[in-house]
Amino acid sequence: MVARTDQTTDPTLLERLIQARRGTAFFARKLNELSDAELDGDSLLPGWSRRHITAHIGYNARAISRLVEWAATGVESPMYPSTKVRDHEIDFGATLNPIALRNLFAHSAVHLNVEWRDLPADAWHHKVKTIQGRLVPAGETVWMRTREVWVHAVDLDNGASFADIPAPVLIRLLKDITGAWASRGTDKDLLGRVDGHPALGFGDMKSRTPLQISGALADMVCWATGRGIAGVTASRDGRIMWTVPAAPAWI
């Protein structure tokens, strides 16, 4: 039997699909390293256990699958009826027994992968709507999933770090976050520099005495997502600050 492959031949999209699939595999590995009892432990997200993280990733795959189906059929299929429904779904999923919770993640990931694989090449340009109400081409669903699996693998608090995330994913994530800050004006008086990546500088170029934040790529993305300050330096007027201020809100 001949193996079925992605219908798209777009090299950029194929590379992005690889990053999403690698992220799913990485999340699966960190999840499988946890015992059933350890699923009850805290995640890095306040108020969420590892169970919540796992349920979220499982239901997120189902939600994104609905968008891919929308692109394939032309029949509108929203991610969720509302954010309230999404939140209730996650809370419910967190109560599942360990086997059911692990199956939720595994089965939904396979389903999404099949939907991507079977999506006709021309359908990747069809527009679908995110839960925030943005109209985006179906190709954007790959990035939506990529950032979820990589970042939340770290949130499982099982030894993963932002240093484990591929550089292309970190770069796009940082651009997304700092772009959101710029559009909201929340980066006023803030100037960021990423070691070894001069093109990734961000912030308020007009400020005379900005808060300057610098560090390696992985450390800067960790800080920007609100998940830690290790490896990041803050200064103002050339003076190093004892504590690194929290990053502006991301989402």
Backbone angles phi, psi at 136, to 5 degrees: -135, 155
Would residue 248 count as lying in a domain?
Answer: no
pLDDT (mean) for 108-118: 97
Give the range of the structural domain holding residue 52, as residue numbers without chain letter.
11-160
pLDDT (mean) for 134-147: 97
Q: Which of 160, 186, 214 is the last residue of a domain?
A: 160
Residue type, 3: A
Shared domain for 37 and 73, answered yes or no, is yes
pLDDT (mean) for 217-240: 94
Shared domain for 138 and 16, answered yes or no, is yes
Query: What is the pLDDT, as a whole number, of residue 88?
Result: 96
pTM above 0.85, yes or no: yes
Would residue 113 count as lying in a domain?
Answer: yes
Would residue 1 count as lying in a domain?
Answer: no
Shared domain for 15 and 49, answered yes or no, is yes
Query: What sign results for the dihedral spanned by CA atoms 26, 29, 34, 40?
Result: positive
pLDDT (mean) for 43-50: 96
* H/E run at residue 4: none
pLDDT (mean) for 67-79: 96
Q: Which of 4-8, 26-30, 163-167, 232-236 has the lowest mean pLDDT?
A: 4-8
Shared domain for 40 and 126, answered yes or no, is yes
Shared domain for 86 and 184, answered yes or no, is no
Residue type, 114: V
**Domain harbouring 229, CATH code:** 3.30.1050.20
Would residue 245 count as lying in a domain?
Answer: no
Task: Identify the band that residue 250 occupies on the pLDDT scale cut at 50, 70 and 90.
Answer: confident
Provide the token pair at 49: 């256990």
Query: What is the pLDDT, as a whole number, of residue 97?
Result: 97
Shared domain for 100 and 184, answered yes or no, is no
- Across the chain, mean pLDDT equals 95
Would residue 227 count as lying in a domain?
Answer: yes
Task: Identify the band that residue 103 occupies on the pLDDT scale cut at 50, 70 and 90.
Answer: very high
Domain count, the chain: 2
Shared domain for 93 and 188, answered yes or no, is no
For residue 150, pLDDT over 80 is answered with yes
Query: What is the pLDDT, as a whole number, of residue 206?
Result: 86
Task: Identify the band that residue 3 occupies on the pLDDT scale cut at 50, 70 and 90.
Answer: low
Shared domain for 51 and 148, answered yes or no, is yes
Q: Buried b / exposed e across 219-231, counting CB within 10 Å, b at 16+?
A: bbbbbbbbbebeb
Task: Identify the band that residue 2 occupies on the pLDDT scale cut at 50, 70 and 90.
Answer: low
